[in-house]
């Protein structure tokens, strides 16, 4: 009878230990491993996009909507005529240029323009399969 008591006590201890371990990482908590299911952080993406032109090319969906217009016509963006973006909207001289931006959980749009000049640029980034991509770019100087 005494040995059965020890077995039950042992099993109870094991059961409590398993429950304790299962509760160490509740659903939605953080883990030490990197999950491939996590959504890419926009701010980190945006910084890398403007610093690394090779990375930038991997995050543009060609054929890219929008284009380049200069008063003589419009040209669609291609990999060959793409001019890498280097300046973030926060680095634009706002004493001369106007800026606006709009952000949701899955979309970011920014616009830069010079009043009464015909110059403006607009870029739209979209979250696709948990990664950010540039999906629209318009560069107008009419």
d(C-alpha 65, C-alpha 138), whole Å: 8
* pLDDT(132) > 60: yes
pLDDT bucket at 35, cuts 50 / 70 / 90: low
CB 28 within 8 A of CB 42: no
Predicted local confidence at residue 70, as pLDDT:
86
d(C-alpha 11, C-alpha 20), whole Å: 14
The arithmetic mean of pLDDT across residues 14-36, rounded, is: 43
Task: Give the pLDDT score at 71.
Answer: 81
Model confidence pLDDT, tens digit, residues 66-123: 999 988 889 999 999 999 999 999 999 999 999 999 999 999 999 999 999 999 999 9
Q: Which tops the pLDDT comparison, 31 or 84?
A: 84
pLDDT (0 to 100) of residue 36: 58
Q: Which helix (H) or strand (E) holds 45?
A: helix 42-51
Q: Is the pLDDT of residue 15 over 90?
A: no
pLDDT above 50 (res 20): no
Angle at 68 between CA 67 and CA 69, to 5 degrees: 120
3-state secondary structure of 118: coil
Domain boundaries, the chain: 42-82+95-141
Q: Which fold has domain 42-82+95-141?
A: Nuclear Transport Factor 2; Chain: A, (3.10.450)
Does residue 7 surpass a pLDDT of 70? no
Q: Report, as an integer, the average pLDDT of 45-74.
A: 94
């Amino acid at each position: 009878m005494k040995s059965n008591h020890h077995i039950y006590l042992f099993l109870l201890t094991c059961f409590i230990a398993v429950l304790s371990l299962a509760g160490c990482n509740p659903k939605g908590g953080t883990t030490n491993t990197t999950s491939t299911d996590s959504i890419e952080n926009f701010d980190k993406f945006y910084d890398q996009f403007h610093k690394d032109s090779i990375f930038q090319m991997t995050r543009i969906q060609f054929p890219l909507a929008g284009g380049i217009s200069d008063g003589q016509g419009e040209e669609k963006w291609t990999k060959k005529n793409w001019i890498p973006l280097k300046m973030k909207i926060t680095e634009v001289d706002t004493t001369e240029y106007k800026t606006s931006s709009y952000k949701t959980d899955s979309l970011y749009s920014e616009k830069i323009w010079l009043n009464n000049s015909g110059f403006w640029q607009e870029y739209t980034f979209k979250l696709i399969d948990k990664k950010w991509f540039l999906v629209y770019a318009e560069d107008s100087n009419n």
